[in-house]
Structure 1
Amino acid sequence: MTLTTLQLSKPFGKVAYRATGDGDPLVLIHGVGMQSAAWEPQIDALSQSHQVIAVDMPGHGGSDALPTEASLPDFVAWLHVVLRALGTGPISLAGHSMGALVSGGYAITYPEMVTRLALLNGVFRRSQEARTAVIARAEQIRSGMIDLETPLTRWFGDGKADMAARVKVSDWLASVDPSGYATAYSAFARGDATYADRFSAISCPLLALTGDGDQNSSPAMSAAMAEAAQNGKSLVIEGHRHMVNLTAPEQVNTALKDWLKTPFQSPLDQKDTSHEHV
């Protein structure tokens, strides 16, 4: 599937995206250092029932970077400009890692635009120790010290599926624009609590999914996000880590298909939060 580009107004510049399928729109936002191609297993499976739009985040793939001082709300504003330019109307929205931060912030800021929300391997209220460490890494990246091996070791195990996915992820990380990567990572490092206190305003069906081996986007964080929302559910994929959409695509696709069938519940409906392991 080829990239399509769209010219936005300043300061957003060019955005690149992949779109396929027919039906209600589903928008996919990837994580820091990745690109829209990282959603390939989900694009293939979910475009059978939906129009799937996978967007390159600013400074990634074919999209222009945001200004270097951009913070998480700037990425949320960028997404709104993209969706208005595409004329999607209300969407189902799924984000992975940094994309989950953007997606959560978007659902809170523009609730009328989001009918369902899925947060894969998202971060939520890091500990002070974890926050200090990730901000230090952001500063290293901004200074030009980009270490690819450390995140790859943290994200993947030794299984066959992990090793195959690791090759692709390594290539994406190696090809990302350093300045755009630094800007996005800084927003990611400082954004885990930006919208956390407002999760109770999320009334659409929310799925918070992660792998049981993901230490930085932990099952406890997914459970906390689901608990904070009005209609939240958390799901933990056992035996997998941070890139669970690539290492366990069938399980993730099944979960997302079920999520896409979940009817919208108004804020007046009774909250139904559950936690599962599979």
Structure 2
Amino acid sequence: MTRVIEQQSRVIHGYKRAYRIGGDGSAIMFIHGIGDSSRTWDDVLPMFAENHLVIAPDLLGHGDSDKPRADYSIGGFANGMRDLLSVLDVERVTLVGHSLGGGVAMQLAYQYPQLVERIVLVSNGGSGRGVSTWLRLATLPLAPELLMLLQLPVSRTWLSAGLGLLRRIDHDLGVDALDLARIVDTPPDSHSRQAFARTLRAVVDWHGQVVTMLDRCYLASNIPMLMIWGDRDGVIPYRHAAQAQAAMPQATLEVFEGAGHFPFRSDPGRFVMAVEQFIRSTEPATWDQHGWQTRLRNGPEPGDHLHTWTGI
């Protein structure tokens, strides 16, 4: 039986936080990427809800959540996820984070490790500097105004033609042409466009990604972890998967051949099976404050691949 996923919202700190929720059982929180919304998970939420309580928020500044002049940092988003879990009375959760959402999931595990049972990173950010040129361009001055111009009919025609060309020449970005067009078309007003720009500039500049999870990920060595990546990701390069796995050797990597940046949309059935198998085959992490403090004091073990970014 297909489970009904409901659209709900709560006001937290004076701002509306929209989310989708359904099912029952162990909790899974799905965190979308930049410029996207909880709707990105539409194909998989009902399937997961057959066995789990699923929660898919719209990050602040995205989807149907409010879009104030506010904190759009990774840490701020992690705080928002903690607050939402608290008001929903959910004590512990498996996190599934896509792209920027993967960085938010890792930040949540860093700030509030007692909440996290498992982590699934999907085409996640924070594992290397590389990022698509169009995201770098979107960090430049007047980017919100450029997004406004993209709403014009003539611009949509040119955008559609450009994405169609990428598909015809078999460019990696062409694999995700429909989803990229959907995201570009999402910001309907100035508040949405400003929120998108602030979020992007918090994690990306002209040189690439500016936030890394690799310098602290050894603290999550006790958390079961699965990484899922499309080998034709034109937004965040697939080569980042090897860097992330080297820094987090406990992580299992599953590669979706031929998929781009949205493997859960290109093959929803396989995605659900992979995550369900991961959950069934692992025990939830146990919060051990003493162990966490010991790892923090000692740093990574000798031989661990600790990555830091210096210079540009």
Q: TM-score range by the shorter chain?
A: 0.7 to 0.9
Equivalent residue for 1:274? none
Which string of whole-angstrom CA distances, capped at 9 and with x for unpartnered residues, describes residues 36-84 of structure 1? 1110122021111100011111111111135356322111122111211
Percent identity, please.
Answer: 23
- Could you say if the C-alpha distance between residues 130 and 34 of structure 1 is closer, same or farther in structure 2, counting changes exceeding 3 Å? closer
Cα distance between partner residues in 1 of 2:77 and 2:111:
12
Equivalent residue for 1:198? 216
Q: Which runs of 5+ in 1 are unaligned?
A: 272-278
Equivalent residue for 1:99? 101
Matched, 1:259 2:278: yes
Matched, 1:178 2:193: yes
Cα distance between partner residues in 2 of 1:141 and 1:213:
30
TM-score, normalised to structure 1, is 0.82
Which string of whole-angstrom CA distances, capped at 9 and with x for unpartnered residues, describes residues 179-201 of structure 1? 22222222232665343200111
Equivalent residue for 2:232? 213
CA RMSD of superposed structures (Å): 3.2
Shift, 1:219, TM fit: 2.9
8 Å contact from structure 1 (residues 201, 229) kept in 2: no
Equivalent residue for 2:295? none
Shift, 1:131, TM fit: 8.8
Which string of whole-angstrom CA distances, capped at 9 and with x for unpartnered residues, describes residues 81-103 of structure 1? 12112111110000111111111
- Could you say if the C-alpha distance between residues 221 and 7 of structure 1 is closer, same or farther in structure 2, counting changes exceeding 3 Å? same
Match of 1:139, SS state, is coil
Equivalent residue for 1:276? none
Equivalent residue for 2:297? none
What is the letter of the counterpart of residue 242 of structure 1? H
What is the letter of the counterpart of residue 201 of structure 1? L
Q: Which runs of 5+ in 2 are unaligned?
A: 151-155, 292-300, 302-312
Shift, 1:124, TM fit: 3.0
Equivalent residue for 2:87? 85
Match of 1:94, SS state, is strand
Shift, 1:265, TM fit: 5.5
Cα distance between partner residues in 1 of 2:131 and 2:12:
35
What is the letter of the counterpart of residue 187 of structure 1? A
Equivalent residue for 1:188? 203
Equivalent residue for 1:242? 261
Cα distance between partner residues in 1 of 2:38 and 2:142:
22
- Could you say if the C-alpha distance between residues 69 and 24 of structure 1 is closer, same or farther in structure 2, counting changes exceeding 3 Å? closer
TM-score, normalised to structure 2, is 0.73
Matched, 1:7 2:8: no
Equivalent residue for 2:145? 144
Aligned positions, number: 262
Equivalent residue for 1:59? 61
